[in-house]
Structure 1
């Protein structure tokens, strides 16, 4: 069996049912994972779940309004159990610094706090965060914060066998599939010893 095969693994994807989140879900479906995707757009979420089920995936959508994330996260665990794979796509609130940090960095922290302890208790699993890099200060702050937070979590749970890695990217539509491929690769068994690592999909030229 290929080491990137994920048949029967439970994957939770946070960060919306479009863009990178949707691309990650499609790759997970192709590799046989069970998928729970969390999004805040009901129509977009249902369309993605219908698409995943159409190709034979075991998929559920969980609607999050952003007002009570703790209950949403608890509901996901009730629905599918402790995830084997956790993907957190950090969002931003545009140029507004406070909104961006709350949406992207605090949102990522809450997701990790909700799911990682049970993964560590099960002594298995893989976490991948997607950290944005941008030309504005708010997006760069979120990306740097998510990267540092993920590395901190990786050190905390290293003894349990849970891995945590980061994909860094500059949000552009043409990069979505590359980001998703990197994220699913990091979550698979192929890089079994890699943790606290950052994959840069932003491209050096985009940082200049």
Structure 2
């Protein structure tokens, strides 16, 4: 459908070299967008580009530290120079340090907040001029259902992802005048390297999640391709400031 066609558009995806980020990048590429894979690990970046190109997509990789303002500005400048424009930004880079709050030290707290939340500000701030020049833009911030629920081992992560939701709403109101739509995706329990480690660390987690999820399974990175295309395309031009769960019904299950 034409309204979902991203031909000629350019997307920058932070953390696009694996997991949910790569799943979204594949969806955007399949819809016609050229993709800039932005991440710290050059080897993973190259593998992600090869994956996208093998499926017929156009992609490049740019190394970036999303917690460093100069690195982020260089990313956006290089991406715009190489691709000619930037239409879509996916703020996906993120980490978690699983500890009870009393076990955290300040440096760990700041690492999670800076990687998950401050990076979204830095990347959005840096891309705004390009989108304003183009007269339009789409920003997709990756939150978490931990912005809805609480868990004893996610204090910093939950704070960062709750911040992502409110940051998305604030940007949506501020940049509507520039025809930039800003939305958040709230992944549920998705089968990634991060959650595999969580299952190793938290006894009974796998069984509890399956029993509560109406879909009866863990999500996959590919489950985020469609929502990414929707929020990046003309189909969502009047959708902004939202936070959309992608969780197989987990967040609406009452018992």
Give your verdict on TM over 0.5.
yes
Instruction: Check whether the contact 1:82–1:115 (CA below 8 A) recurs between aligned residues.
Output: no
1:177 aligns with 2:222: yes
Provide the residue aligned with 2:109 in structure 1.
Answer: 97
What is the CA-CA distance between 1:44 and the residue it aligns to? 1.2
> Corresponding residue for 1:62?
62
Query: How big is the shift at 1:38?
Result: 0.4
1:168-193 CA-to-partner distances (Å, cap 9, x unmatched) read 12352142222332222111111221
2:166 pairs with 125, 128, 148, which one? 148
Shift of 1:70: 2.6
Q: 1:93-132 maps to which residues of 2 (within 5 A)?
A: 93-95=96-98, 96-132=108-144
Asked if 1:25 is matched to 2:25, the reply is: yes
User: Are the equivalent residues in 1 in contact too, given 2:188–2:245 (CA < 8 A)?
Assistant: no
- String of CA shifts for 1:101-141, please: whole Å, max 9, x gaps: 01111111100001023212321121111113333111111
Relative to 1, partners in 2 of residues 1:94 and 1:106: Cα closer, same or farther, differing over 3 Å? Answer: same
For residues 5-54 of structure 1, give each alpha carbon's deviation from its aligned partner in whole angstroms, at most 9, with x where no partner exists: 21111111112400011111111121111111101111111111112112
Change (3 A) 1:93 1:207: farther
In structure 1, the gaps of 5 or more residues are none
CA contact (8 A) 1:35 1:59 kept: yes
8 Å contact from structure 2 (residues 36, 62) kept in 1: yes
Q: Residue 206 of structure 1: CA displacement?
A: 8.3
2:251 matched residue in structure 1? 204
1:81 and 2:84 are equivalent in the alignment: yes
For residues 93 and 81 of structure 1, do their structure 2 counterparts lie closer, same or farther at Cα, with a shift above 3 Å needed? farther
- The residue that corresponds to 1:167 in the other structure is 185
Task: Kindly tell me the number of residue pairs found equivalent between the two proteins.
Answer: 208
Q: What is the alpha-carbon root mean square deviation over aligned residues?
A: 2.1
Gaps of 5+ in 2: 99-107, 192-217
**Matched residue of 1:44: which SS?**
helix
Measured after TM superposition, the shift of residue 207 of structure 1 is: 10
Shift, 1:205, TM fit: 6.0
User: TM-score, with normalisation over the residues of structure 2?
Assistant: 0.75
CA distance in 2, matches of 1:47, 1:91: 19
Q: Distance in 1 between matches of 2:226 and 2:109?
A: 29
State which drifts further: 188-197 or 126-135: 126-135
**Which has the larger displacement, 149-158 or 166-175?**
166-175
- Measure, in 2, the Cα distance between the counterparts of 1:39 and 1:189: 27
Separation in 1, partners of 2:183, 2:20:
16
2:20, 2:82 → 1: CA distance?
23
Q: 1:85 to 1:55 in 2, by over 3 A?
A: same
